Amino acid sequence: MNLIDKYLTYVKSIRRYSDRTVESYRSVLENFCLHTSDGQKYSDDQLLAALNQSEIRHWSAELMKCGLGAKSANHHLSVLSGFCRYLLKEGYLQTNPVRLVPRPKEERRLPVFYKSEAMENYFKTTEHNADRNSLDDFLENPESDVASAHYKARLSRLIVSLLYNLGLRRSELVSLQIRDVDFGRNVVRVKGKGNKMREIPIVASLCEEILLYLEAVDALVGGKRSLTEPLLITESGRKLYPVYVDRAVKAQLAGREGITGQKSPHILRHSLATGLLDNGTDLNSIKELLGHSSLAATQVYTHNSVAKLKSIYESAHPRAKNGGKNGD
């Protein structure tokens, strides 16, 4: 087993990274090897010899020259740095050469989010897709075409509800099982990045929406399901998948008052975090809710709040309104 395979085995088995992440890391590391060996096969000795400041700097420049953005180039460097830290720990290297390589400067972009008022308006105008009356209509004939459309609308609304109310990542949403919802304690257990578990409280209205949805599912499949089955399934009975979630979010938010621009699951997550911060929630609590590994990842939302504060200042402060001039 070569050094790259050893490292990838380590991050998968010990660090518990997902298969998707492991394959992404493999692609980056093999890209570095192909660059340093001019596309030829390489040995572990050749790889170790290439792990120097000069070679890594040249690789970084080539990535940018090939059209990679600064953020993607920095991701490549971060993956290589993680590999070097592993080699350092195992005694193959004496220093981490990536630390000496300047990182491409990224343009700072604030997280996009939907205002709380716009989301409240969405939930109000779609509440008929989450209530008991429409469910009773569905239960009368769950195999009809009309019932299928109703189920899809109910599912899509619940997808948005869970993403926004719990601040879930898309991967966390599709991985939810029935047993992850504890109706007795009003919490949802979520498996996040690195298989880290966290519990998120859920409000009574969301509990009710989930319970009614589960009644619809039972009717759709013709009986009770086991607690280890997926919480959410499509109208054809399949486990929910990422593309379905993306389409559902876009369809649900299209044309809604106050919701413009890109429509994605992650923006719903941003929207919850920004709304909580604007309402006075401390950063540590938001960090725990979102499942961030460090506070630095959560602090990006403070920039949105500062922007809001600046807007309020400029529109309301007496001196800001007259340009800071003396007098009236």
Q: pLDDT band at 315, cuts 50/70/90?
A: low
Q: Which two tokens stand for residue 70?
A: 């600064």
Q: Check: CB of residue 165 under 8 Å from CB of residue 249.
A: no
3-class secondary-structure state, position 306: helix
CA 18 to chain CA centroid, nearest Å: 14
Q: Which residues are catalytic?
A: 169, 193, 266, 269, 292, 301
Instruction: Give per-residue pLDDT as tens, 134-169.
Output: 898 888 888 888 888 899 999 999 999 999 999 999
In this prediction, residue 327 carries a pLDDT of 47
Listed in order, the ranges of the chain carrying CATH 1.10.150 are 3-100
Identify the CATH number of the domain defined by range 3-100.
1.10.150
The answer to whether the predicted template modeling score (pTM) of the entire model surpasses 0.95 is no
Q: What is the mean pLDDT of residues 200-211?
A: 94
Listed in order, the ranges of the chain carrying CATH 1.10.443.10 are 116-312
Instruction: Give per-residue pLDDT as tens, 247-286.
Output: 999 999 999 999 999 999 999 999 998 888 888 888 888 8
| 141 CB neighbour count, 10 Å cutoff | 11
In this prediction, residue 328 carries a pLDDT of 46
Helix 301-316 and helix 265-278, axial crossing angle in degrees, nearest 10:
50
* CATH architecture entry for 116-312: Orthogonal Bundle (1.10)
Say yes or no to pLDDT of 176 above 50.
yes
* DSSP H or E stretch at residue 182: strand 181-182
Look up tokens 């096969």; give the residue: 41
Report the C-alpha gap between 234 and 148 in whole angstroms: 10
Closest CA to 259 of 112, 109, 108: 112
